Amino acid sequence: AQSVTQPDIHITVSEGASLELRCNYSYGATPYLFWYVQSPGQGLQLLLKYFSGDTLVQGIKGFEAEFKRSQSSFNLRKPSVHWSDAAEYFCAVGGSSNTGKLIFGQGTTLQVKP
């Protein structure tokens, strides 16, 4: 069965530092992979997605993610974190290309220190 693991429940980084959030997935075929961000009082927002092609994908707000099939990973990165990036981040894998349903990881809470 498909599943997503985000090993880090909580991460704290200093403003301006680089960021990497880890995501590992379990899926039998070529996965559809997503990263979403959830800020307080706001709905989940799509940061980026990977379906096929170039394994390094660019997203909004300066985020990027790299798909590594050999490691079953889809880690999210940002070179320089801003205080406004503090939020909860969810990695998700597509559970069915027919329905478009998503299987989410449990999330990583990002805290940004000034």
Partner 1 sequence: GAGVSQTPSNKVTEKGKYVELRCDPISGHTALYWYRQSLGQGPEFLIYFQGTGAADDSGLPNDRFFAVRPEGSVSTLKIQRTERGDSAVYLCASSSGGGYTGELFFGEGSRLTVL
State the residues that interact with partner 1 by CB under 8 A.
4, 32, 36, 41-46, 49, 51, 90, 92, 94-107
CB of 59 to partner 1, least distance (A): 12
Q: Which is nearer to partner 1, 48 or 81 (CB)?
A: 48
- Minimum CB distance to partner 1 smaller for 53 or for 100: 100
Among 65, 40, 45, 43, residue whose Cα is nearest residue 54: 65
Task: Classify residue 107 as left (phi > 0), alpha (psi -120 to 50) or beta.
Answer: left
The Cα–Cα gap between 13 and 110 comes to 8
Shortest Cβ 10–partner 1 spacing (Å):
11
